[in-house]
Structure 1
């Protein structure tokens, strides 16, 4: 699949330092979350038709923080184990995993702007399908370097699979067009938007 590509890989120092490895995805994910305005994101989330098993909005913050932390620890663990190995195959897999990790992190961070910011459910679903597949391969690659690193990615992979279902289900139930679901409603304080599900 993907080999080690230095230009598409985070600097080694990010993987070498545990604090940097763990904090990078946590801080980056938090920054993206706040840049898409949490109140507006939550409002949109509640307005759209959702598939069964939709979690409450409050669960996403703590869940993603934990998953980002595990992801970062897996990166540190795989890199420290693999790069200190005398086995050239493990070293090569470690470097390959670093490239895969960087790409999956980028795919992860653009999903929210695509889905909520630009309201592009088709592109967002394509993104998360690619992200889930890439993460599955990364789990396999780094699992060969260090079992603990591989196991640390399993909850993330499981949540991504569920998020893929939610993304695709939400897109399908809203006819892959979020803009048409919002209808103006006048109030004393101005105008707001809501979804008239009875009219669907």
Structure 2
């Protein structure tokens, strides 16, 4: 059985529902706001609200995109809802950890919480990689690892949270799959092209 050490603060944050939900929302705002300069550039056109602009691009003549892109207005609605649900899942996970004395369940929940923080970090760096760095391939790798991490986290937290976390994370898993398709399509269709530098 793998023993995961989590600093106390990483367990205290999700114990409070406000900080549990607030952390991913704040990180989403911070990550998205760092793309403001790129949003104003000619590299692509994005929605006027860049705060939750993860992949919210309308492909211009400078960057080709795959079919099936939703309207740009979808992204600033979807991402905050996903951040709220993932924050609430962290709250459920810590409650499950506090409620059990089973070593195997505690191990699974601790690993799930560690993966939660790992996926938050990967989610946070995606926008700077894709928008600011214009590193489409690195952003794609980040997206694939982020999706895999989130799927495994969902599996680990299913039993201890009596499937509540799974119902809350399934939309996130589906959206990450779709976002990875978009990122992969953009990378594939633009391979060999050098994005304009600001």
Could you tell me which residue of structure 2 aligns to residue 82 of structure 1?
97
Mark the CA change 1:65 to 1:176 in structure 2 (over 3 Å): closer, same or farther: farther
Q: Cα gap change, 1:109/1:3 in structure 2, threshold over 3 Å: closer, same or farther?
A: farther
Equivalence for 2:45: 43
180, 189, 198: which one aligns with 1:164: 180
Cα pair distance change 1:123/1:24, threshold 3 Å: same
TM-score by length of 2: 0.83
3-state SS in 1 of match to 2:86: helix
Q: Where in structure 2 are the equivalents of 1:1-200 lying within 5 Å?
A: 4-6=4-6, 11-37=10-36, 39-40=39-40, 43=45, 45-46=57-58, 47=60, 48-146=63-161, 147-175=163-191, 177-179=193-195, 182=196
Report the CA distance between 1:178 and its aligned residue. 4.8
Of structures 1 and 2, the larger Rg is shown by 1
Kindly state the Cα deviation for residue 59 of structure 1 after the two structures are TM-superposed.
Answer: 1.4
SS of corresponding position for 1:54: coil
Q: Compared with structure 1, are the counterparts of its residues 33 and 89 closer, same or farther at alpha carbon in structure 2 (3 Å cutoff)?
A: same
5+ unaligned residues in a row in structure 2: which ranges? 47-56
Q: Check conservation: 1:4, 1:98, Cα contact below 8 A.
A: no
RMSD: 2.4
Deviations 1:85-140 (A, max 9, x none): 13222212111111111111100110111001100000000000000001000000
- The structure in which a higher percent of residues are helix is 1
User: How far apart in 1 are the matches of 2:9 and 2:174?
Assistant: 24
1:10-40, Cα deviation, whole Å (9 max, x unpaired): 6211111111111100111011111111743
TM-score of the superposition, structure 1-length normalised?
0.82
Change (3 A) 1:24 1:15: same
